[in-house]
């Protein structure tokens, strides 16, 4: 994930290509119900399982028993029973309705930077937001309309290039727009919710609606959007000097890149920073930097990062996270909340 040229050397290239949406469809594999059908095997007839759960007009966007580990930063976990990659917003609504009617557990997958899947896999429907319809970035005046599946850093680069300020301090933070808004990601003392004008969602009742930023209930690293499916977000930004914005973005990007573990690409940030102190400072102060559980550890220099070494398992990740939370609570009275979603 961080292999190759340093982040700062790739910045000019990314600035020129920010308007291009990118997606890599996950490969096929085996697992639930012994299905071995590949993603590109378009000639295969739909299985009875697919036709049992999904209407005919969705069968071309849903696959069975699809591996997830290749799309997750930690590279751990088994397959999804069903994986859908909708290419139209209407398909997301239909998928949501089908999952509710058939009582299928449902998860939405963006960039996979804060997801841990157990080796048994996820026995439900995963909707991956990778198509242009769900990951586009459009500038309208001083507003950015971003699909939930768009990369946060791509959104930052695009707005900076257009001379629009308000997101530049979030550059280099991994993940998608949807996940960033649901978790109200923050940096440099400012959260993303402060520039959100509206959010288009599918609510828990399966209804499509638009909420204002105020209705999203943004608070420290949280919102009231959990349990909904975010489709798109409109940001209201401020016109600023392109050169000044670019310099600030470059400085922050280089700084964040230098703080990340360099020995492994399989990393995640398991904890949310508390109000008063960063998770990194908190873990350092309790002597837990570098702590290890099997083939999983916290980085010794940046202990707010969890590293999955070769042969790491989901159980090892969960045990390590539990040990850290217990020790921090005992020593400081602070209950670290999870940034990592465990499926």
Residues catalogued as catalytic: 221
Quick one: DSSP state of residue 93? H
Residue bearing tokens 């290239």: 13
Quick one: which of 320, 275, 276 has its CA closest to 296? 320
Longest dimension (CA), the chain: 59
Q: How many CB atoms lie within 10 A of CB 204?
A: 12
Helix (H, G, I), strand (E, B) or coil at 14: helix
**Which pairing describes strands 143-147 and 229-236: parallel, antiparallel, or unpaired?**
antiparallel
Quick one: DSSP state of residue 189? T
At residue 122, φ and ψ (nearest 5 deg) are: -115, 115
Q: Are 165 and 143 in contact (CB under 8 A)?
A: no
**Which pairing describes strands 292-293 and 229-236: parallel, antiparallel, or unpaired?**
unpaired
Distance CA 133, CA 147 (A): 7
Quick one: DSSP state of residue 1? -
Distance CA 192, CA 194 (A): 5
Quick one: DSSP state of residue 44? S
Residue bearing tokens 């290749």: 70
Distance CA 188, CA 177 (A): 18
């Amino acid at each position: 994930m961080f292999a190759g040229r340093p982040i700062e050397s790739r910045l000019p290239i990314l600035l020129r290509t920010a308007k291009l949406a990118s997606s890599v469809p996950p490969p096929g594999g085996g697992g639930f119900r012994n299905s071995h059908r590949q993603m590109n095997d378009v000639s295969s007839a739909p299985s009875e399982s697919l036709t049992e759960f999904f209407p005919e007009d969705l069968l071309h966007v849903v696959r069975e028993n699809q591996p997830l580990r290749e799309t997750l930063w930690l590279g751990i976990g088994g397959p999804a029973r069903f994986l859908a990659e909708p290419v139209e917003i209407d398909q997301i609504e239909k998928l949501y309705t089908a999952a509710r009617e058939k009582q299928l557990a449902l998860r939405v997958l963006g960039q996979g930077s804060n997801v841990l899947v157990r080796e048994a896999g996820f026995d439900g429907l995963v909707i991956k937001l990778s198509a242009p319809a769900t990951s586009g970035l459009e500038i309208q005046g001083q507003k950015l309309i971003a699909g939930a599946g768009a990369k946060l850093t791509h959104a930052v680069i695009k707005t900076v290039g257009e001379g629009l300020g308000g997101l530049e301090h979030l550059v280099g933070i991994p993940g998608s727009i949807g996940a960033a808004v649901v978790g109200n990601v923050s940096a440099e003392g400012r959260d993303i919710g402060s520039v959100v004008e509206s959010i288009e969602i599918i609510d828990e009742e399966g209804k499509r609606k638009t909420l204002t930023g105020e209705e999203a209930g943004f608070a420290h690293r949280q919102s009231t959007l959990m349990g909904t499916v975010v489709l798109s977000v409109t940001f209201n930004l401020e016109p600023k000097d392109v050169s000044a914005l670019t310099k600030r973005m470059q400085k922050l990007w280089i700084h964040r890149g230098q703080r990340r573990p360099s020995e492994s690409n399989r990393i995640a940030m398991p904890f949310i920073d508390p109000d008063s102190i960063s998770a990194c400072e908190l873990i350092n102060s309790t002597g837990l930097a570098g702590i290890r559980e099997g083939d999983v550890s916290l980085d010794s220099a940046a202990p707010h990062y969890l590293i999955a070494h070769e042969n790491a398992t989901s159980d090892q990740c969960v045990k390590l996270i539990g040990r850290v939370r217990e020790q921090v609570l005992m020593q400081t009275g602070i209950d670290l909340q999870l940034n990592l979603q465990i499926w």
